[in-house]
Amino acid sequence: MSNNHRLSVLIPALNERESLPQMLAELPKHVIDEIVVIDGHSTDGTPELVRELGYRAVAQEGKGYGMAVISGIEAAQGDLLSFLDADGSYDPSALVPLLEHIEQGYDIVFCSRYLVEAGSDDDTFIRRLGNRIFTVLLRLMFGVRLTDALFFYALGKKEVFESLDLESTDFSMCIEIPIKVHKHGYKYTEIPSAERKRIAGVSKVNAAWDGLRILAAMVKFKLKGY
């Protein structure tokens, strides 16, 4: 991309061989300098397929979504990073306005499914209710000014991610990053973006169990003084 920035798109993946070819083909290559699939020890040949398609695949350290994010940050060569789900549910066209906001001076920009002109094709009443509860808690407990706590589609400076001392190994990473971004005083905002139905495969999220872990993480970070 221009203006002396290099964008690395990082894609955590666990057994996403069916969805990745279409997902990778849809990426706006004209604004991307590096694409890296962070493989979570797949058993369906995901990393081999990624390399056959001409992209870089690296094995994450340990297990869990949070560890994939941490491994991706370490592996990235660009100075700007964005994380996209391998199932194709994130709209890749949002990368362009995300980048535009970085050029306007923001350190990190988040996407929201609940702003005007946004939406979700994969939302349910339970998921929407749970997300609303976590979003309210995030605002009340930590002052984070976001409308979509559990939609980790973001683009930010690598140095910002590196400064956060990230520790979550699971989906709690989705709330750890905005909590620490806010606490550190970084300049952030959010833009509308749609969530699409996954292309193929099955979701790795267990709403009840992962919700409890995220709640426990919020309590932990509050006790730590965030």
Per-residue model confidence as pLDDT tens for the chain (226 residues): 556 889 999 999 999 999 999 999 999 999 999 999 999 999 999 999 999 999 999 999 999 999 999 999 999 999 999 999 999 999 999 999 999 999 999 999 999 998 888 767 666 666 778 788 999 999 999 999 999 999 999 999 999 999 999 999 999 999 999 999 999 999 999 999 988 887 876 777 776 778 899 999 999 999 999 9
pTM: 0.91
Which element (helix H / strand E) includes 86? none
Question: CA torsion angle for 94, 116, 135, 217 (degrees, to 10)?
Answer: -10
Give the whole-angstrom CA distance, residue 91 versus residue 80: 18
Q: What is the CATH number of the domain that holds 147?
A: 3.90.550.10
Query: Which residue blocks in 108-195 are alpha helix, DSSP H?
Result: 125-142, 158-163, 173-183
Whether residue 1 lies inside any domain: the answer is: no
Whether residue 23 lies inside any domain: the answer is: yes
* Domain housing 37: 7-223
* DSSP codes joined into one string, 15-64: S-TTTHHHHHHTS-GGG-SEEEEEE---SSSHHHHHHHTT-EEEEPSSSS
The tally of domains found in the chain comes to 1
Is 225 buried (19+), middle (13-18) or exposed (0-12) by CB count in 10 A?
exposed
DSSP label at residue 92: G
Whether residue 2 lies inside any domain: the answer is: no
Whether residue 79 lies inside any domain: the answer is: yes
